[in-house]
Amino acid sequence: MQGHNPATPPLGAQAKSLRESRILVFERSSADGQSMLALLQGADYANAQGCSDPHAAADIYAQQPVHLVLLELDDVDGLQVLE
């Protein structure tokens, strides 16, 4: 990953480690553009779209006024957002 800080794991590694929990609940305000939820959704979106910049993709989700979101993590489909 170009420009990646070696002190932090890549987004894919973060998402993989979170799959140990079956269901995770994240709460955030609409102004929290750097939330883990936004980064996970951005990484998932970037992978699906072939985007080379998951942080830019995360900004799309950070603009949504979501206050409570359930993420179901499974090995087959990866991240699924349950509303």
Residues 2, 55, 75, 37: is their CA dihedral positive or negative? positive
Q: What is the pTM of this model?
A: 0.24
pLDDT in tens, the chain (83 residues): 444 444 554 544 544 444 433 333 444 444 444 455 556 665 666 566 565 665 655 565 555 554 444 444 444 444 554 44
Residue 38 lies in a domain: yes
Cα 37 to Cα 81: distance, rounded to the nearest angstrom? 10
Cα 30 to Cα 32: distance, rounded to the nearest angstrom? 6
Residue 6 lies in a domain: no
Residue 3 lies in a domain: no
Residue 32 lies in a domain: yes
Residue 18 lies in a domain: yes
Number of domains in the chain: 1
| Nearest CA among 75, 66, 68 for reference residue 22 | 75
Residue 76 lies in a domain: yes
Structural domain containing residue 44:
11-82
Residue 68 lies in a domain: yes
- Hey, which residues does 81 pair with through a beta bridge? 71
